[in-house]
Structure 1
Amino acid sequence: MNNLLWFLRASQWARNPPSARRVKLVLFVILVIVAIVVLEKLGWWPEWAQMERGRRAVLPR
């Protein structure tokens, strides 16, 4: 059932493709995310911008 919804969405995109401006925006956002991940993996991400790792919440059973 879920595959049918994806096929319907793909057919709508084929009939009405996104504008070039929207494609550029999405690619820019993806590029920024990849850059942040790479900087963090290399250790060049500033200390003040890192999240503190707290204790994990224990859910009651």
Structure 2
Amino acid sequence: MNALTWLLRAKRWAQNPPSEGRVKLVFGVVALCLVLVGIEYFIGWPDWMTVDSLRPKP
């Protein structure tokens, strides 16, 4: 039943595709996320952005 729902959704999307602006927005957000992941992977996470624990360590 789930496959039928996705097929109907794909049919509606094919009949009424998103605007060029929305496609650019989605690609921009995906590109920004990939840039952030790349920076974190290759450079690392800065210590000043790490949340300190509020619980005292035993």
Give your verdict on TM over 0.5.
yes
Report the aligned-residue RMSD.
Answer: 2.1
- Gap regions ≥5 residues in structure 2: 54-58
TM-score by length of 2: 0.75
Q: In the alignment, residue 3 of structure 2 is paired with which amino acid?
A: N
Distance 1:50 1:24 in 2: 32
TM-score by length of 1: 0.72
What is the aligned residue count? 53
Indicate the structure whose relative CO is greater, using CA pairs within 8 Å and at least 6 residues apart.
1
- Gap regions ≥5 residues in structure 1: 54-61
Distance 2:50 2:21 in 1: 32
